[in-house]
Amino acid sequence: MTQSKAVEQLYLPRDEEFLQGVPNVSLHICLQSYLVRGVFVEQEIFGRMEQIRTLYVKLLGEVASLRADRGVDTERAAETQAPRASEVDGLRRALEESKKKARRWTRSMQSLLSFREKSSAHRSHWQ
For residues 82 and 88, give the distance between their C-alpha atoms in angstroms, rounded to a whole number.
11
Q: What pLDDT score was predicted for residue 63?
A: 86
DSSP sequence for 4-65? HHHHHHT--HHHHHHHTT-S-HHHHHHHHHHHHHHHHHHHHHHHHHHHHHHHHHHHHHHHHH
For residues 83 and 92, give the distance between their C-alpha atoms in angstroms, rounded to a whole number.
13
42-49 contacts: CB < 8 A, separation 24 or more?
42/99, 45/95, 45/98, 45/99, 49/91, 49/95
Q: What pLDDT score was predicted for residue 114?
A: 78
49's CB contacts (< 8 A; 6+ apart) are: 91, 95
40's CB contacts (< 8 A; 6+ apart) are: 3, 6
What is the mean pLDDT of each successive set of 10 residues along the chain, which is 127 residues long?
A: 52 65 69 77 86 88 83 57 69 84 82 73 58
Q: What pLDDT score was predicted for residue 121?
A: 66
Q: What pLDDT score was predicted for residue 1?
A: 46
Q: What pLDDT score was predicted for residue 123?
A: 56
For residues 107 and 45, give the distance between their C-alpha atoms in angstroms, rounded to a whole number.
20
